[in-house]
């Protein structure tokens, strides 16, 4: 109790009830944009103030000292990586936007003090990790990677084999030891003290281990999520918990619990399903899935996104898309410069885990190959995500139209580096200032659409949603109701598509105004959507043109 009683937290955090159509989250590394002679966290703040003032929430990817995986192999949970800046820079970023921190609670770097204690057989770290005989049968364990689960470690007691879900450099913590849970709770509270309004529970699905099970989504893991939610709500009212569980859809939903676990859950089905839709020019699968989507429990919402620092996960397509279609999609992405990462299965085989490519270059063409519609197709995909029920999240490289970073892959040897470019501010600004560059076209148009969304109550995260099935080439979703209602129509195909406005509206209105273009469409006429055109239609009851 002393830990809680002695904690003095800010009381100005985010709140699910306070989220509105004005809220948009940005995902960025602390050094996604760099400037010579300036701490990257300061450069990031300057760029956001000047070029993305619409952003209300910022997810800064791990900003701690690390040994691998671009931050997710944490050496010290309580230090800021000196190469990025200082805690003061983090707090300054939080003065004008809500911050999301990564709570990397499943594993820690083998270069950490705790693991040094394990190697030396000193407390407390000697009991913080899971040590097993080399020949232990771990074939049932669900894996997101293809290397062996047990990593050999040279210690003062000889070679020991420890549990390492993600890599031999990321050693899993032993939550079967109550001291580990207590130590991590202390860190969690400090993050709240330092200004975290949202806490992202990284790789939380793998937290609890129990031999003889798949060691994923175990009841004890869900109890830890409930505990952290209780602590966050008590210590910083309004703060939010979000779980990162890149798994099939129904498994993902389990982290809402009965409305007592995560406030937000990543909508992991969206990135690959929107990609498939655009690549095929057919919205049927996306429409059917969206129509079947059950609403979250009261007080819970989805975090919608298309791209993140990781690849485009494929596990969420299990049970939705046949394996041969997944393989075909992968082949198309490889044609556009992408790669595929594998994971190990319990039967000893490997299967595709994620596609590594920037979302911008993933929109380079269709299954027929590259074409001239990349920017329009990409804008359509991002706008589709932007209007869905929930909180929208943009990876910074999506707002910048960043192409594949093949040089990054060559330098690091890691496939995920293709989507983790570090822009030089001096290189980026001229590209954004010129009107003819893809970066400028994407950035300015997405900012315009985000700004328009922020003015429309129909796009409040919990506003009603209804999906229509009227044409295989169109994805149509209605948000809001009554006078606030907006019907969003997306042509996902590389050809013109016609749609009867009377058939869409089902009413005696005179027509509708496309809020994206401010063009009035009479109900008696057919809509003509160009390839990848988006329309946000507001019905009008009189001759007054909406402006």
Catalytic residue annotation = 202
Radius of gyration of the chain (CA): 24
**Greatest CA separation for the chain:** 84
Which residues are paired to 159 by β-bridges? Answer: 154
Whether residue 60 contacts residue 28, with contact meaning beta carbons closer than 8 Å, is answered with yes
End-to-end CA distance of the chain: 57
Q: Tokens standing for 527?
A: 């809509």
Tell me how far apart the alpha carbons of residues 466 and 120 are, in angstroms, rounded to a whole number: 59
The residue to which tokens 């490889």 are assigned: 334
Q: Tokens standing for 477?
A: 């979703």
Which residues have CB under 8 Å from 262's CB, separation 6+? 201, 225, 229, 241, 242, 243, 255, 256, 300
Chain centre to alpha carbon of residue 205:
16
3-state percent helix, strand, coil for the chain, nearest multiple of 5: 35, 20, 45
Task: Give the residue among 518, 442, 514 at the shortest CA–CA distance from 52.
Answer: 442
Q: Which parts of 359-496 are beta strand (E)?
A: 365-366, 369-370, 391-395, 423-424, 465-468, 474-479, 486-491
Q: Which parts of 156-311 are beta strand (E)?
A: 158-163, 170-172, 196-201, 240-243, 264-266, 301-304
For 185, phi and psi rounded to 5 degrees?
-65, -40
Whether residue 361 contacts residue 401, with contact meaning beta carbons closer than 8 Å, is answered with no
Q: Tokens standing for 400?
A: 């910048």
Task: Give the residue among 435, 441, 485, 439 at the shortest CA–CA distance from 459.
Answer: 485
Neighbour count for residue 226 (Cβ, 10 Å) = 16
Chain centre to alpha carbon of residue 209:
25
């Amino acid at each position: 109790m002393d830990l809680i009683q002695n904690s003095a937290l800010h009381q100005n955090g985010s709140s699910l009830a306070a989220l509105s159509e004005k809220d948009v989250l940005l995902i960025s590394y602390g050094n996604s944009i760099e400037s010579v002679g300036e701490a990257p966290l300061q450069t990031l703040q300057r760029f956001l103030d000047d070029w993305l003032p619409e952003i209300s929430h910022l997810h800064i990817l791990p900003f701690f000292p690390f040994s691998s995986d671009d931050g997710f192999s944490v050496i010290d949970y309580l230090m800021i990586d000196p190469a990025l800046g200082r805690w003061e820079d983090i707090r300054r970023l939080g003065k004008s936007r809500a911050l999301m921190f990564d709570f990397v609670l499943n594993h820690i770097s083998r270069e950490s003090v705790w693991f040094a204690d394990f190697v030396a057989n000193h407390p407390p770290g000697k009991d913080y990790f899971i040590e097993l005989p080399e020949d232990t049968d771990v074939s049932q364990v669900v894996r997101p990677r293809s290397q062996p689960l047990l990593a050999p470690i040279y210690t003062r007691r000889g070679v020991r084999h420890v549990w390492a879900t993600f890599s031999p450099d990321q050693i899993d913590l032993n939550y079967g030891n109550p001291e580990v849970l207590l130590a991590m709770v202390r860190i969690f509270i400090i993050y709240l003290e330092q200004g975290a309004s949202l806490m992202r529970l990284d790789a939380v699905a793998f937290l609890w281990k129990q031999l003889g099970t798949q060691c994923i989504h175990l009841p004890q893991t869900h109890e830890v999520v409930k505990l952290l939610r209780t602590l966050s709500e008590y210590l910083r009212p309004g703060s939010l918990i979000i779980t990162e569980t890149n798994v099939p859809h129904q498994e993902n939903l389990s982290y809402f619990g009965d409305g007592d676990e995560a406030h937000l859950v990543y909508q992991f089905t969206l990135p690959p399903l929107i990609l498939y839709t655009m690549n095929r020019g057919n919205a049927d699968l996306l429409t059917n899935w969206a129509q079947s989507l059950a609403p979250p429990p009261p007080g819970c919402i989805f975090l919608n996104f298309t791209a993140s620092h990781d690849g485009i996960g494929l596990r969420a397509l299990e049970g939705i898309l046949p394996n041969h279609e997944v393989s075909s999609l992968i082949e198309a992405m490889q044609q556009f410069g992408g790669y595929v990462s594998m994971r190990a299965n319990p039967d000893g085989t490997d299967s595709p885990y994620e596609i590594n490519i920037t979302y911008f270059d993933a929109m380079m063409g269709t299954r027929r190959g590259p074409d001239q519609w990349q920017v329009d197709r990409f804008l359509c995909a991002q706008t589709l995500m932007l209007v869905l029920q929930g909180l929208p999240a943009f990876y910074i490289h999506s707002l910048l139209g960043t192409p594949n970073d093949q040089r990054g892959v060559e330098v690091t040897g890691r496939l995920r580096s293709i989507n983790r470019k570090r822009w030089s501010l001096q290189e980026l600004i001229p590209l954004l200032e010129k009107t003819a560059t893809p970066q400028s076209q994407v950035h300015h148009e997405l900012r315009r659409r985000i700004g328009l969304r922020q003015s429309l109550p129909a796009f409040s995260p919990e506003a009603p949603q209804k999906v229509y099935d009227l044409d295989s080439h169109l994805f149509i979703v209605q948000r809001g109701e009554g006078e606030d209602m907006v019907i969003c129509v997306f042509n996902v195909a590389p050809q013109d598509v016609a749609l009867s406005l009377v058939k869409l509206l089902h009413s005696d209105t005179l027509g509708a105004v496309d809020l994206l273009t401010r063009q009035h469409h009479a109900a008696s006429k057919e809509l003509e959507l160009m390839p990848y055109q988006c329309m946000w239609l507001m019905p009008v009851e009189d001759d007054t043109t909406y402006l």
